[in-house]
Amino acid sequence: MPKNIITSATTPTTGFTDKSTPSPLAQGIRWGNMLFLSGQAALDPETREVVSDDIQEQTVQTLKNLEGVLKAAGASFANVVNMRVCLRDESDFQKFNIAFTDYMQGEKVTRTCIGGRPHRAGVNVEIDCIAMFD
């Protein structure tokens, strides 16, 4: 079974350090009934620049970027079974969690949240996910 590369025109592709160089990553890959999304950050889809320093604004943009890839695959957050979150500053967790909860509007997922250093300066949150289809 071949893997199906998923690309959203409304979501920036991450994994680059030089904006003039194409990313070596896929935004998403569907394999059978499973969908794996690369980590997304709070990048503006047009400029590929970080949208804000505010963790809540970054969280919302990151989730919008994930949602764009999900939609390109014919899915939504209702299909997501697991999310992994990396916060640059662990003290941002409470504000992150408020924005995350509001955005997800009651949708339940499993989630791991760790402190770490996302690869790009200014990025304070990165999220990836796994979704399933029937």
Chain segment 80-114, per-residue pLDDT in tens: 999 999 999 999 999 999 999 999 999 999 999 99
Confidence of residue 120 (pLDDT cuts 50, 70, 90): confident
Q: What pLDDT does residue 1 have? A: 80
CATH number at residue 99: 3.30.1330.40
SS3 of 130, please? strand
Strand 34-40 with 4-6, pairing: unpaired
Among 131, 124, 72, which Cα is nearest to 107's? 131
Top pLDDT among 15 and 131 is at 131
| pTM summary value | 0.94
For residue 74, give both structure tokens: 């014919």
Mean pLDDT estimate for the chain = 93
Q: What pLDDT does residue 37 have? A: 97
Q: Centre a 10 Å sphere on the Cβ of residue 103 and count the other Cβ atoms it contains.
A: 17
Q: Which domain holds residue 69?
A: 4-15+24-132
- Find residue 80's DSSP bridge partners: 131
% the chain with pLDDT above 70: 96
Domain count, the chain: 1
Rg of the Cα trace of the chain? 14
Chain segment 49-89, per-residue pLDDT in tens: 999 999 999 999 999 999 999 999 999 999 999 999 999 99
Distance CA 93, CA 33 (A): 32
CB-side neighbour CA atoms (13 Å) of 48 = 14
